[in-house]
Structure 1
Amino acid sequence: MGQGNTTQTWMSEFILLGLSSDWGTQVSLFVLFLAMYLVTIVGNVLILLLIRLDSRLHTPMYFFLSVLSLVDLCYSSSIVPQMLVHLLSVQKSIPFYSCLIQLSVSLALAASEFLLLGAMAYDRYVAVCYPLHYTVIMHGGLCLGLAAGCLVAGFTNSLMETVITFRLPLCHSVINHVACETLAVLRLACVDISFNKVMVAISGFLMIMLPFTLVLFSYGRIVAAILHLHSAQGRSKAFGTCGSHLIVVSMCFGTAIFTYLGPRSAYSVDGEKMVALVYAVVAPMLNPLIYSLRNKEVMAALSKVLEKFRYKG
């Protein structure tokens, strides 16, 4: 008798509740998110092109920045287009396998980004603390290895989480979220999900807290090294090389820690939606703006490219 209320059926599709059921609000959000997504595409593609075209940007820092831009572009594209379609749709459904792919890809790219931010912090640490040995330490092989390791670790973690999540018997098909996300899908399960919660916590520690610890350690050493500089101009330049990265780190790690490692509450579902929007829509749009507008080398590369087009015209 007790099993009658937890009948499991195979779900061919899910329904995503999204942010609002009000048509006017949905149209307004569609316009806003579409504009932000277009800025995301243009900004990140521009960063990739500038780094590719300008030899002055062929350094470890910009190599990691190009990988970060590619990850941001792919991550946003794994969620935002479908969200835009749903904002103008009456039936906000997503097929089972599309949901599975969306969750696995977005999870892999998010984890890869956290690890990349840790690698970028290490790069800045070497640049500030060991400037004379920077090119020797951060050689091409190490940079490629770190970037590949971040991606492999991110996709491995995603595969593990996706498998244990979608092997659960599901009793409901309505996902109270804007996308297929691990915690939201787990709420559909008919069985106890304590094991899954433990695995999410372990995953969060490995993919979020470990690189965050590396970031804190790196910047602790950076600040100590900068404070020992006698030149005010030298201190300003050193802080300038790290300022953009710190802004991105604060935004990305802050939202992720709030979502996966923060305290649960009655408002956690709405909080998760807002954080997911920040991470899928806002962060990928702001990253290229932060790195370009605050970076003289990137702006110089942009000016050089525009000059070439002006002369050709």
Structure 2
Amino acid sequence: MESINLQHGSGGEKQTELLNNLIFKNLGNEFLDKKHDGAFLNISGKLAFSTDSFVVSPIFFKGGNIGELAVFGTVNDVSMCGAEPKYLSLSFIIEEGFSMEDFQKIINSIKIASEKAGVQIVTGDTKVVERGKGDKIYINTSGIGVIYENAKIGIEYIKPKQSIIINRDIASHGMAIMSEREGLKFDSEILSDTKNLNFEVKKLIENFGEKIHFLRDATRGGLASVLNEITSESNLGIHLFEDKILVEKQVKSACELLGLDPMYVANEGTFLCVCDDEIADEVLEILQRVNHHASKIGFITEEHAGKVIMESAFGGKRVVNPLIGEQLPRIC
């Protein structure tokens, strides 16, 4: 058949065919091949667990699609706990009439993404809803990882004078989505920053252990939302340097055209790290091996507690407020 129909979610023969011919065939492993309702795992150590649902529109965009986004998104959330991601669950809600060809593309992307991140998909679920009661396809992934023995990650460990570092430039994912929706054209394509971050995090924790105090990927709400979360929960302040927060030229142009502030635009492969200032240069060196736009963007301070203050290259200062309302719908 050329498209998904309700029989593919009925629990009968057609669903078995779908699972066997697409999902088990492409994603099979020693756990998934048991075809049980759950997975039997043998894990030791302190665990991190995360779940996320992905409803991005459009489902295919420059630099990625909803399939790899679902894998990398949960891999990254587990990684930000200071853990090594191991296993994922994978659940689909598919709208009747969805193209079988597009579903195959998404499955292929999930396979490649899980292999790239070094994780296994061990259980899942597939549901089909009536035409008009979904939006093509939604995906939920949950992830389990083992926390590194020398990791100690949490807002409670953030103290004054610690450095704030990000691993790359910002706002590429959100602008890749919006450019696709709005039909914007630039000298070069805007590509989503969608990628797995687990190996960068592993490198940092292996090298610096408890001197890495906080990790967070800057997804919905962008970098500004993560920074405001830190100040709100820690009752400390943040001082930023605007010229250290890098935005690619075409991304900045797209933001200006649409009246958006890059600080609030979603990312999918961008994370910030709060660490002891004494190791900041070494942390930066490791991250710049992966992306030369990694940058030390500011520091934690006791001044202006609860606020994020950004200093421009000319010495002017402004408050970076929390996001109010919804800047970008259906971005991840």
Structure with the higher helix share, 1 or 2: 1
Which structure's residues are more often strand, by fraction? 2
Q: Which has the higher contact order (CA 8 A, sep 6+)?
A: 1
TM-score, structure 2 normalization: 0.27
TM-score using structure 1 length: 0.28
